[in-house]
Amino acid sequence: MTTTFALTRRGFLSTGVAGLTLAVLHPFSARAEAGQAHLRIMETTDLHVHVWPYDYYADKPVDTVGLSRTAALVQAVRSEATNALLLDNGDFLQGNPMGDYIAYERGMAEGQTHPVIQAMNELGFDSGTLGNHEFNYGLEFLERSLAGAGYPVVCANVVTQEGASAAEDRTLVPPYAVLERELVDGAGQAHPIRIGIIGFVPPQIMQWDRAHLEGKVTARDIVEAAEAWVPKLRDEGVDLVIALAHSGIGAARAEPGMENAAIPLAGVEGIDVVLTGHSHLVFPGPDFEGFAGVDVEAGTIGGKPGVMAGFWGSHMGLVDLLLQRQGDAWVVVSHEVEARPIYERDAENQIVPLVESVAAVEEATAAEHQQTLDYVRRPVGQTTAPLYSYFAMVADDPSVQIVSNAQSWYIARMLEGTEHAGLPILSAAAPFKAGGRGGPDYFTDVPAGDIAIRNVADLYLYPNTIRAVRVTGQQVKDWLERSAGAFNRITPGEADQMLLNDEFPSYNFDVIDGVTYRIDLSQPARYGREGDVVDAEANRIVDLAFDGRPIDPEAEFIIATNNYRASGGGSFPGADGSTIVFEGPDTNRDVIVRYIVDQGSIDPAADGNWSFAPLEGATVLFDTGPGAANYLEDVTTLAIEAAGEAPDGFARYRITL
């Protein structure tokens, strides 16, 4: 199952830095002695097809994303080091309109190369692994896309045929690769080195993309797969093992089927370096201050050098190793770790780019970039009012309402004539663009008038497919209790308490349309961040009603949703895969487009079916984008007022409960 690559890639040998003065070299390169060598390991992760520094949803250039910008960091790092490797940690194939254009419009005919892989080939990547979003378009599309990669793509825990043990599995792609290289030491002498690259992906892909994967592949636990394959990799005589873990930094103790398994993975004997991702965070950095099992100052995860390079090309992860020759082998004697950004914010919270795009990367994908622009600018209908998500976390919202309307419209038609016809149809939708880690500009803002495909993609970021589940009234309430974990507990009578739970992602804040309800923020949350019950007696959802009457816990309902949620994504009660009664072939985006085309002109006004319960004397603070000021008068269900600026370019508002 091994793949061995012996070619020498650009910038790996010292000849790549000929003519440079010692002043520009990293200290490990500058001070290495005979028998010592400096190796720089560069990581990209969660690129999500962001090759160009361009926001296709807003249809404008930006300075915060793009592999063409990260490429400038790659060039700089190669010039600073005697030896360097460039690795990708997955989630490169899906995530913006360019990815959708290739998957749904152009396709991947045999012999074609995917634009993100064209860009990666241009940069001379040494290896990569799969992320969970690589499976969003199906296995055939993935296989055709990988065929164009000029570097080995590895993954040890996605299995096409299970063996008696993990080490006997037949994997979808090779579990690991062995890169045969030469390291130049401090005396200028070249020595051979064998570097093992092994990859992993969250086993939750079997839930998230069940329709594409069920019956075709299975997924092993990450640590289980590592414990099986790393010894085999070591048996091949490698000097260094680098784990490409498309997995976040979670609990320090291994549990079966962990999604974020970086720390216990680092504890597997034989792994030297752990490159992480998936969480769209940065390590080392303040995201993980005080986090058990990691050392931000030392740049270690479970005691091993590790890095997480943000997302969309925002950072380049960098692990510097000083290696010592011992006999015929190399050992790590020192390390440094850095996540190097492509931009920063100045004192006024304005974005300042730190690098310029590398022209060769843009040129390699210029045709697909223009084709994507043509694709997203195509009009499909009209809206009588603006669609925006600035207040989606605090009030019923037009950008969420239109998604709910489209889902209900579609599912009602699909269930006609079935055993489920006649059951009340509800619709669950969440705001995808609601600020948070995406920044103060990360909001939907579509003016009244023509709606183009780029606007629909802006309303619904992911290529999920439509699903319907059959649940009870009690499960409807529990679903909403899970969603209500988005908020901190608020004390009556206290002023200016922070409203939102920063650890709760907006895409898990489901609003269920078709019922009415209020959220009592004085109550504790029933569910924790991962969907575990933390207070079984808590009841934040009050006055829950259907058709004007209190909901019957025994009554049955259909909820229109997506494949991610229906199959267990987010761990919502009533949505674990067992309640699915309809699996549509269409993406939720396509459903929205069809709805708009069918209606011709849509009225996206929110129906105000949910609100906060009053809390005497309490005010809360809520941060959103500066563009919210343009729509403040539309928010009639809240006593809300501007409260000044918030950190990182956000605007702050005060809500009187």
Give the tens place of pLDDT for each residue, 484-514. Answer: 999 999 999 999 999 999 889 999 999 999 9
DSSP state of 116: H
The band of 7, judged by pLDDT with boundaries at 50, 70 and 90, is very low
Instruction: Return all residues near 105 (Cβ < 8 A) that are at least 6 apart.
Output: 371, 375
Report the C-alpha gap between 317 and 284 in whole angstroms.
9
Please say if the pLDDT value at position 259 is more than 70: yes
Q: What's the sign of the alpha-carbon dihedral 319, 51, 137, 150?
A: negative
Bridge partner residues of 249 (DSSP): 261
170-171 sheet: strands from edge to edge: 170-171, 158-161, 218-219
Q: Using an 8 Å Cβ cutoff, are 458 and 388 in contact?
A: no
Least confident window among 29-38, 194-203, 252-261: 29-38
Considering the four listed CATH numbers 3.40.50.2000, 3.40.50.300, 3.60.21.10, 3.40.190.10, the one that applies to the domain covering 2-370 is: 3.60.21.10
Give the tens place of pLDDT for each residue, 264-320. Answer: 999 999 999 999 999 889 999 998 998 999 999 999 999 999 999 999 999 999 999
- Shortest CA distance to 472 belongs to which of 396, 546, 400? 546
Please say if the pLDDT value at position 17 is more than 80: no
Centre a 10 Å sphere on the Cβ of residue 152 and count the other Cβ atoms it contains.
Answer: 23
Q: Which residue has the higher pLDDT, 519 or 6?
A: 519
Report the C-alpha gap between 86 and 309 in whole angstroms.
13
Report the C-alpha gap between 515 and 202 in whole angstroms.
35
Buried b (16+ CB within 10 A) or exposed e, 598-622: eeeebebebeebbbbbebeebbbbb
Residue with tokens 């997480």: 308
449-452 sheet: strands from edge to edge: 449-452, 379-383, 601-602
Please say if the pLDDT value at position 459 is more than 80: yes
Please say if the pLDDT value at position 326 is more than 60: yes
Kindly compute the dihedral angle of the four CA atoms of residues 414, 420, 423, 425, in this order, to the nearest 10 degrees: -30
The pLDDT value recorded for residue 79 is 86
Nearest-Å Rg of the Cα atoms of the chain is 25
The pLDDT value recorded for residue 6 is 38
Class in CATH terms, 378-656: alpha beta
541-546 sheet: strands from edge to edge: 549-550, 541-546, 516-519, 610-612
Instruction: Return all residues near 355 (Cβ < 8 A) that are at least 6 apart.
Output: 69, 72, 73, 76, 342
Please say if the pLDDT value at position 18 is more than 50: no
**Phi, psi (deg, nearest 5) at residue 133:** -75, -10
**Phi, psi (deg, nearest 5) at residue 476:** -60, -45
378-656 shares the fold of 2-370: no
The pLDDT value recorded for residue 22 is 35
Report the C-alpha gap between 359 and 349 in whole angstroms.
28
The pLDDT value recorded for residue 508 is 94
Q: What is the DSSP string of 372-417?
A: HHHHHT-EEEEESS-EE-TTTTTS--HHHHHHHHHHHHHHHHHTTT
Q: Which helix (H) or strand (E) holds 27?
A: helix 27-31
The pLDDT value recorded for residue 585 is 67
Give the tens place of pLDDT for each residue, 108-125. Answer: 998 899 999 999 999 999
Structure tokens given for 315: 């950072």
